[in-house]
Structure 1
């Protein structure tokens, strides 16, 4: 039956009478759920758990939109929904995710592309992510959107696949034991949870060995090479970016979101601002003498767009990578960060402190950087240890 725009007074009276009869049956059966009409639509009302965005901690009386017309056919569907929800409440299995609406539609009423759009809308609107919208948008664009686009392409090209099968096919299209496989699993796990999909196997099991023994060892630049390359960069502003990254181990974008005021007070610490990927944290120089050698007290940043309502952290970081290529820097910006991390190990800085300054967990720090200590690094550490013994 086509949805109607208005209901006559007589029709309202008739449908309200049937609702009253049905609610009486639901009450006698102790369902704890009632049906109500609001205009031309039917809703349910019950004591429900707090919505995902609610600050309440206990269940309370709430309306649940069904999107059903106030007709006889709609009323039959509403009765079935009422019984299902009553059973879920008794079994303590009610989940709001199945009943939230996006653009006036519930997930179950959407096609797959609409569900993906609803997932993006929900991801960007999460209260904990609204605190740092620029970082959230960067995370979405780099870690979620590429794999959801690939999933959508696979689902469209092979419509006979279920969503779960398409998810598995998308994961297996990435390289095993790779960062992309891990990120893909993380993104599609979040999507499955959003859609209330029951997965036969937890997607994390497909990560492979990335982050453990499969972490690739990098040939990092020596300190002498880092200083020599700094001298070849012709633009003073980009020399400053390079010098800061080398001295403080910053991520590409973090250089543009720091408080450098302490350097003018002859301190060796800078503060990464809360607008960055991992929030506010303080970082100390390793080596402190590089502050003078790289003219970090006098230098200033190049002029680029950093308003996160107009750009993203990812785009800012890409500008740094592009400039490194332009000036023929023989290693990546991240190699400066990794060299800083290995340098702190040689200095004996605790992993807890180094990880805090780098803005990641201790587990990530030890898993990654301790494997990157090359034979050259080990030789230096041995010589330093022997030197301390001889001085003693």
Structure 2
């Protein structure tokens, strides 16, 4: 049985037990996703759908799924008890200033592409589609800058308003921002 099917089964069991999160795979890593309180540095008052990091132990494997299930129960218990704290769940690889290299646009684009081809069968036609859609947008982004919403919005604003290129830029920048877990990505939709 493939790993995505095992994740789906684990999520069905979590749902039956009333957990508030599901296991989500990004590339070869597992995350938890659910409606959670705003992170401390985010200016929001309401809970909203977010990812919680499971750290380096959460590899997409049988053992990683067992680990993720345990953490899903723990997170749910913390939410119910009112003891949930983002300090235990934020992926420090993404937010620590000493790891800025891992947050560059080019690195995220490469990681996104690897993840994409793990989910989609690679055929010559699909490669052509990738190159004229995702690839076209990603190639125009500043590869050596840190990936932020501002960088994506700056690129989007260089495209002609109400055009096919603007729509393409918005669609694929949003997907990249979602993949990277960037806060404030809703701005791209507007």
TM-score (norm 1): 0.23
- Look at both structures and tell me which one has the larger radius of gyration over its CA atoms: 1
TM-score (norm 2): 0.47
